[in-house]
Amino acid sequence: MPYASNATRILVVEPNPVFRMGLQSFLAAEENFAVCAAVGSVDQAIEVLHRQPVDVVLYGMEEAAPNRTTAAGLARLFRQRHGYRVVVLSQSEQPGAAEAFLGSGVSAYLPKDVSGEHLVSVVRGVSGDHELVFIVTSRLGIASIVRPRELGLSSREREIILLVAEALSNAEIASRLRITIGTVKRHLRNIFVKLSAVSRIDAVNKARAAGMLPVPA
């Protein structure tokens, strides 16, 4: 389907069929928005991304899915990445979710009950300026984002501790982030010092207690 050259191309990934159809219809009615597809799974989304360019992916969390399930889906999307931005729509806020997802590279974290006007504004914002990040969360969610900065972890260190929590090896982390294994080890040493951790598991537990990582279901 041909789109206007200045249209923002959107891919909707939402497991709930009713909500998915609503998003598709609402966004398609907006000026200069083109909904490339609306699918229910990451597998289907990857098929779309292989077929056509996309500017923004709206990724809806499942209501009962733990944060790690969403994080795994995001990781698969980012492996396919070709310049598109990702906006996470959360059904219910879980401790550390905003920090974890923003640390993984998403451009916005919003509740699913966000107003249509706000959603449109965010989609336009992330597609127009790749440095912008949008967050709508509670005071508790904001506190979990601030705490890691108080501990002094860099954005790269927060990315690495998130991948350590997914049980990835140093080699897998290096491949995922496109850095050397030596660089991963250096960052891990810094993380251990900053968190006063004695092992990978200890570092993950302390990062989770500080609100940097989602609490497992």
CA atoms of 86 and 105, how far apart (whole Å): 8
Question: How many whole angstroms separate alpha carbon 17 and alpha carbon 25?
Answer: 12
Of 9-18, 167-176, 185-194, least confident by mean pLDDT is 185-194
pTM of the model: 0.62
pLDDT of residue 149: 47
pLDDT at 167 over 60: yes
pLDDT of 185 strictly over 90: yes
Cα separation of 166 and 155, whole Å? Answer: 17
Pick the CATH number of 151-209 from 3.40.50.620, 1.10.10.10, 3.40.50.150, 1.10.3720.10: 1.10.10.10
Q: Measuring CA to CA, which residue among 42, 40, 45, 43 is closest to residue 11?
A: 45
pLDDT digits (tens, 9 = 90+) for 60-96: 887 655 566 777 788 888 877 677 899 999 876 665 6
Q: In the chain, which residues fall in CATH 1.10.10.10?
A: 151-209
Q: Is 8-137 a CATH 3.40.190.10 domain? A: no
Question: Where do you find CATH 3.40.50.2300 in the chain?
Answer: 8-137
Of 60, 48, 77, the closest CA to residue 18 belongs to: 60
Please, which pLDDT band fits residue 150 given cuts at 50, 70 and 90?
A: very low
